[in-house]
Amino acid sequence: MFQRILIANRGEIAVRVIRACREMGIESAAVYSDADARAPHVLQADHAVRIGPAAATESYLSIEAILRAARDLRVEAVHPGYGFLSENADFARACERTGVVFIGPTAEALDRMGSKISARRVAEQAAVPMVPGATPDDQSDGSVAAAARRLGFPVLVKPSEGGGGIGMKVVRDERSLPAAVAQARREAMGAFGDGTLYVERLIERPRHVEIQIFADDHGRVVHLFERECSVQRRHQKVIEETPSVALTPALRERMGAAAVAVARAAAYRNAGTVEFLLDGVGDEARFYFLEMNTRLQVEHPVTEQVTGVDLVMAQIAVAAGAPLPWEQHQLSQRGHAIEVRIYAEDPARDHLPQAGPLLLYREPSMPGIRVDSGVAEGGEVSVHYDPMLAKLIATAETRDAARRRAVAALERYPILGLRTNVPFLVAILTHPRFVAGDVDTRFLDTEGDALRADLDANPPAEAMLVAQALDGSPVASRSNAIDPWSSLRGWRG
Partner 1 sequence: VAEIHPLGNGVFRIADGTRSRIAYAAGRSDARWVFLEGRVYVIEAAQGSGSRAKRTHEHTALAAPMPATVVAIEVETGRAVSRGDVLIVLEAMKMELPIKAPRDGVVRAIACRPGELVQPGVPLVELE
Task: For residues 396 and 404, give the distance between their C-alpha atoms in angstroms, rounded to a whole number.
Answer: 9
Question: 365 or 487, CB closer to partner 1?
Answer: 487
Pairing state between β 47-52 and 27-33: parallel
Backbone angles phi, psi at 403, to 5 degrees: -60, -45
- The correct pick among 137, 204, 284, 471 for binding partner 1 (CB under 8 A) is 471
The site that binds partner 1 (CB under 8 A) totals a number of residues, namely: 59
Residue 462 sits in the site that holds partner 1 (CB under 8 A): yes
Q: Residue 221 CB, nearest distance to partner 1 (Å)? A: 32
Q: Does 487 bind partner 1 (CB under 8 A)?
A: yes
Interface residue with partner 1, options 37, 366, 463, 482 (CB under 8 A): 463
Provide CB contacts within 8 A for 477, sequence distance 6+. none
Residue type, 290: L
Under the criterion CB under 8 A, does residue 478 sit at the interface with partner 1? Answer: yes
**Which listed residue (144, 420, 428, 431) binds partner 1 by CB under 8 A?**
420
Compute the least distance from the CB of residue 169 to partner 1, in Å: 11
Least Å distance, CB 166 to partner 1, is: 7
- Nearest CB to partner 1, comparing residues 132 and 459: 459
- Is residue 467 a contact residue for partner 1 (CB under 8 A)? yes
3-class secondary structure, 386: coil
Of the pair 99, 472, the CB lying nearest partner 1 is at 472
Q: Does 191 help bind partner 1 (rule: CB under 8 A)? A: yes
CB-hemisphere CA count at 13 Å for 145? 11
CB of 464: closest distance to partner 1 in angstroms? 7
Give the integer Cα–Cα distance in Å for 223 and 57: 34
Q: Rounded to whole angstroms, how far apart are CA atoms 487 and 144?
A: 58
Q: What are phi and psi of 149, to 5 degrees?
A: -60, -40
Question: Long-range contacts: 132-138, Cβ < 8 Å, 24+?
Answer: 132/200, 132/201, 133/198, 133/199, 133/200, 133/201, 134/198, 134/199, 134/200, 135/160, 135/196, 135/197, 135/198, 135/199, 136/197, 136/199
Residue 159 found at the interface with partner 1 (CB under 8 A): no
How far is residue 322's CA from residue 324's CA, in Å, rounded to a whole number?
A: 7
Instruction: Note whether 310 and 270 are within 8 A (CB).
Output: no
If one counts every other C-beta atom within 10 angstroms of the C-beta of residue 96, the result is 13
The interface region with partner 1, picked from 13-21, 96-104, 393-401, 457-465 by CB under 8 A, is 457-465
Nearer to partner 1, 321 or 414 (CB): 414
Determine, following the binding rule CB under 8 A, whether residue 362 of this chain makes contact with partner 1: yes
What b/e sequence results for 129-166 when a residue is b if at least 16 CB atoms lie within 10 Å of its CB, and e otherwise? eebebbbbeeeeeebbbebbeebeeebbbbbbbbbbeb
Q: Which of residues 379-418 bind partner 1 (CB under 8 A)?
A: 383-387, 407, 410-417
Cβ nearer to partner 1, comparing 254 with 384: 384
In this chain, which of 151, 426, 444, 451 binds partner 1, going by CB under 8 A?
Answer: 426
Of 334 and 478, CB closest to partner 1: 478
Q: Label the pairing between strands 286-293 and 270-279.
A: antiparallel
Part in contact with partner 1 (CB under 8 A); list of ranges 33-41, 206-214, 306-314, 349-357: 349-357
Residue 422 engages partner 1 in binding (rule: CB under 8 A): yes
Residues at the interface with partner 1 (CB under 8 A) = 164, 166, 183, 186-187, 190-191, 349, 352-355, 359-360, 362, 383-387, 407, 410-417, 419-420, 422-423, 426, 457, 459-471, 475-478, 487-493
